[in-house]
Structure 1
Amino acid sequence: MKKKRFIALLCAGALALGMAGCEEKGESGGKKEIEVITEPAFRELVDSAADQIMGFEDDLDITVTVFSTNAEKREREIQKLQTEIMAGKGPDVYILDTVIENESVSNTALFTNPYKTMQSGALALLDEYMKGDSYWEDSTYKKELLEAGQYEKRQYIIPFSCDYFVFCEPADGEQMTGTTVGEWIQQAESSQNQELWQAMQAISATAGRWFVPAVDYEAQEVLFSKDRWTELATAYISMLEQGNEEQWLENNPYEISNINHILGTENRQMKFIPDQDGKKLAAVRAYGAVSMSSSYKKEAYQFLMLFLNDTLEVEREKINMGTMVRGHVDPEGLPVQESAIRTKLENSASPELIDSICSTFSEIEGSYFVTQVEHNLYSAVGNLQSQIIGGEETDENQLRQEAAAAAEKAWKDYRTQMAE
């Protein structure tokens, strides 16, 4: 579905964005047409930003195209668009979501593997625009999140939101003391704390994240260790078998949760769940990019930045009007700058919870994109968990063989994914 709109105002009211001035427009005699492709979940904010910027920039004509919410229609739209992109066509701006491994149903993604998309030449380099943009010097953007959007140390994608998993524990109870997820599993296995063991069952939600990033696309090397992953999955199986499922406890003070689903931390403390190497990495959710085929790459970049900087907020205040676009675009994911986290949560979370979330956010050491392989690993461990917890008669050796088979398949899938 497309929405096209244009609000004509005097050029004297143009923003100091450099997106287009009166002189340039007079020379060209036309408008700069920019097409944006986005997700249904982001539509409201993207539409709002387009309307508002055209209210200040009278030589911009922005069209917002939104993918269908119907799965079959969406798939057809994506196939058509992928063909256009391969032919050097397509929209100017991409504001997209990613596949999340622990969602039971994932929408078809335009770019199923953003790493390969960056390699393909379909996206424009953004470094030259970022270097001249004071936002990157003055903002609270978590710079470590930019890593996922880089290829050969050059920026092609700008993350807009992220997620990661946290462990909530009572301030006066047994604490997680290890530095790796493997050490956490070992502690849960040896602990006599039924509540802690019960909560640690949910560590299966992070199974696709135990070893990430799993591929070095620049060096053409699979980093994923099938042996180490199998060892960790086996340790998880052993942990599950040590507990007593019949003593299931309600109102457990221990909890594993995605950072975007945490409800509260009263009398509890929050810890960032590390991977097997002890790294604290975040998965990119929403992101923005500019098409290599765009004739207006600078303007396209500046439109992306409206979802990070305060340009619209400042300009709308001049005419005594507010804006919904306040440093984030994704209603579900965690914003990528602390200021936007606080703004987004100010009316829905306690100051203590916001501080706890921002504290874990400050610990992020790097970022990555989730692909189908991570989803497969998550599903494999979930299947092992259901066999044990579900009361089925299970053979420990058979379960370990299933874990090893899942790791072997993942390694091969990563290799195939790298070579495509």
Structure 2
Amino acid sequence: MGTLTADCPRLETHCPHKLATSCRLTSTPNCCACADERPHSRLYRVYIDGVGFVQRGTRWQSYCWFCKEFWNNRLLATDPPLEASQTRIPSIPDQTEFLERWFEFHQGYRIVNAADGTEIRIAVIGEPFHDVSPGLLPRTVEELRAGRPNDASRPENRTRRRRLTSEEQRPQGPQQSIEDALDSLLNEISDDDIASPAPPDQPDQPTLEQTPAQTPAQAMNLPDDALNATETNLSNLRLIRARERLTRVFGTREDVQREDYESPLSTLYNRAEARYQQAEARRATGDTTAPSTDGMSARERQNIEEQILWGVLTESRSAANQAGNQSGDPTEISNSTLDALVARITRNRRIPRPPSPTQTLDNPERPPPLTEAQMTKNLACQVCYVQIANIAVVPCGHMVMCQWCADVVVPVRHNHFPARPSKCPMCRKGIKQRFKIHTAA
């Protein structure tokens, strides 16, 4: 699918990207990027199946297909390369140069100023826009003959951008790692800051070897401000990770504030309550038939089997307690309990499952086939009786007139609407429209 705005005129109310992106927003003259009022961020929320909402998306991923394809191609064609987190769509990367060349192909000519000040129009001819993806320039006739591919690596599609302020302030040398920073910090500590061993005349003064409970940070005498800053950063990092985990499980604040929001905990307890009610209902009715497991997952079938086994164990335990009150032989109690359990499980396994209906694509309520005589209908016109009735009227739906009789009884204007008030010759209801029915030969 290419660019669909080749024949659309350029209006003053249009944003610069409206025609170049083929934006599908019809209610506004702006494209998706110019109409987006969200604050800029490095990452945007996206939903991943099995994970939830995570901050891994881009700003233009929720735009229409054409705008999303436009910005994907323009980001790939930016030189030097630009990461998605560094963009500020639609201003960064700047597309002014690309749009000027695109509109030259759109209008079909390029204006060149001569030395004497006159304007000369040079024809610009390229491949049809419906064969060009949004964000790319059409290929010329020479390029089409040479078979050059039209992608982001094509020199005509490349756009040279200015360096960002953050890139200019970035040091040219390699960045210092955490290990190097710690080594440099240790080297800056003077020998006077580190506690030295006690002199001979003061044997009671503790040394570093005599204080095993002393922390490494205290041994190096690091500043308290640095320790507090490190602890603050760690606590902030833990808080951010905890918020991300809560967002993945329960959703964002907007999701929680919706009227149809349902907590995962509520869903969990509702399922457990439903299973408990089903087990109680089967226990109250005395139904020993195993519930149907057709269409259930392996986890659901396992839950049902565990419920049945738990019910058998409960009944066996109550029977054992009653027998224990009457007899004190533990061997007989255990044997009777085991026999009852085995008999119950064997009986449940031998019960045949009800046959499941065959799954077909047809409606199961379809009646049996009709005979040829029942499917034979008389389609003679009920007005002239010499032509086939092929005109149906609405809203009653009767098809009782041929085309020639319908022109007399129900004359129409604009192909379907009656020119004057008319009634159906079969049921005498008012006619609102008429249609011609084409039957199979």
Q: Which has the higher strand share?
A: 1
Considering only CA atoms, is the larger Rg found in Structure 1 or Structure 2?
Answer: 2
**TM-score normalised according to structure 2 size:** 0.18
